[in-house]
Homo-oligomer: A and B are copies of this chain.
Amino acid sequence: MAKSNPPWTLGQLAELLQGELHGPADLLINGVTSAGSADAESIAFAETDEYREKAEQVPLGALLVGPGMTASVPYIVVPAPRSAFFALLSWCDRPLQTGEGVHPTAQVAASATIEPGASVGPFAVVGEDSVVEAGSVIHAHGFVGDRCRIGAGSVIYPRAVLVQDVILGTRCIIHPGAVIGAEGFGFVWDGKRRIKIPQVGGVTLGDDVEIGANACVDRATAGQTRIANGVKIDNLCQIAHNCEIGEHTVIAGACGITGSVKIGARCVLGGGVGTNDHISICDDVILGGRSGVDRDITEPGAYFGTPARPIGEAMRAFVLIPKLPEIWSRLKKLEKKVGE
């Protein structure tokens, strides 16, 4: 389907999505919204009756539904409402605007290379020996320090910082306020005070990596902190020095991954997960939100809790925490009875 910007008529949408129209063809739809969010000029989607009911409770322009479903607002029946909705989302996407070439206020070091087709915004800084490849965008206030490489088609959002020695693959997205390549946190105590261990390594990101807003990825003490292809890291996460994160792993908001931790491929970390230093987590591990991983995980599967354990076991323990007072009183009662 070709991109079609809003506004649409409902009839146009039915045609574009190859769906079945139930409602006025000339109804104007200005955008998309989520089920349950009031917006009389937008279209939402519902795969189930539960979501349809949620959507119908507030003013809504129209609804995308699945085969066999109806709705109390104008609707279009499509084979896969979610996919159809994603198409609409992409048609509504209006990326943050950027100028062509290097903005006159940007500071680009003489030894840096800005490839043709790259865009460098107002007040952006590009340091010594750095390379910004074709089709990349460094938005306003982006800071790219010395010896960095921004792979083709990457986007550095406003105020993201690549301190130094940071290598990005192609099509990476660095969200606002993210800091990549700051010094790792390493000191030795000499008996009187802490002496800084020089942090001289770098950070290497693969292709299609996303780093969330105000997240931090420190550079290695020596060598590289490595984030593999396809990894997605959410806002406010901390990835300490010398970590290695495997391909296509997803790390939700506010996780704290401590120094030299290895996480395998295709893992999914819920929000607020923390780890012990120097542990390894194998491929295909799912960690429930706020889990605390105290040791290596060597078997794929779902884990949860602090300490993190296989999820079935962990959930059985988790629901018993509020029962501790009952356990305690029943134990004392039993002691009394047995004592008698």
Q: Are B256 and A256 in contact (CB under 8 A)?
A: no
Among the interface residues A107, A176, A314, A334, which one has the most CB atoms of the partner chain B within 10 A? A176
Q: Would you call A256 and B240 a contact (CB within 8 A)?
A: no
CB neighbors of B among A271-290 (8 A): 271-272, 274, 276, 289-290
Bound state CA distance, A122 and B144, in angstroms? 13
Question: By CB atoms of chain B within 10 A, which of A85, A128, A197, A223 has the most?
Answer: A223
Q: A177-B214, A321-B305 are in contact. Are A34 and B220 (CB under 8 A)?
A: yes
**Contact of B235 with A182 in the complex, beta carbons under 8 Å:** yes
Residues of chain B lying within 8 A (CB to CB) of residue A221: 34, 89
Nearest first, the 5 A-B pairs at minimum CB distance are A37-B223, A33-B223, A320-B324, A316-B325, A89-B198
Contact A232 B185 (CB under 8 A): yes
A169 at the B interface (CB under 8 A):
no
Is there an interface contact between A97 and B128, defined as CB atoms closer than 8 Å?
yes
Partner among B122, B215, B314, B320 whose Cβ is within 8 Å of the Cβ of A125? B122
Chain B residues lying within 8 Å of A105, measured Cβ to Cβ, are 105, 107
Question: How many copies altogether?
Answer: 3
Q: Which residues of B are found within 8 Å of A40, using beta-carbon distances?
A: none
B96 touches A164 (CB 8 A): yes
The verdict on A52 contacting chain B, using a C-beta distance below 8 Å, is no
The residue among A96, A197, A250 with the most chain B CB atoms within 10 A of its own CB is A96
Question: What are 21 of the A-B contact pairs (CB < 8 Å)?
Answer: A37-B224, A93-B200, A94-B200, A107-B122, A123-B125, A123-B141, A157-B163, A159-B159, A176-B179, A177-B216, A185-B232, A185-B252, A185-B253, A187-B232, A187-B250, A238-B271, A254-B254, A254-B256, A272-B274, A307-B318, A324-B324
B92 adjacent to A248 (CB under 8 Å): no
Minimum CB–CB distance for A222 against chain B, Å: 4
- Complexed CA–CA distance, A325 and B146 (Å): 54
Check: A135 CB closer than 8 A to any chain B CB: no
> Does A183 belong to the interface (CB within 8 Å)?
yes
Q: Point out the residues of chain B lying under 8 angstroms from A70, CB to CB.
A: none
Given the known interface contacts A33-B222, A314-B322, A328-B327, the answer about A92 and B290 at a Cβ–Cβ threshold of 8 Å is no
| A208 sits at the interface (CB 8 A) | yes
B292 touches A290 (CB 8 A): yes
Q: Is A47 located at the chain interface by the 8 A CB criterion? A: no
List 9 additional A-B contacts (Cβ < 8 Å) besides A34-B220, A321-B324, A330-B331.
Answer: A31-B200, A193-B208, A234-B238, A240-B253, A272-B274, A289-B292, A314-B322, A317-B321, A317-B324
Of B39, B146, B210, which contacts A96 at CB under 8 A?
Answer: B146
Residues in chain B near residue A240, CB distance under 8 A = 235, 253
List residues of chain B with CB within 8 A of the CB of A149: none
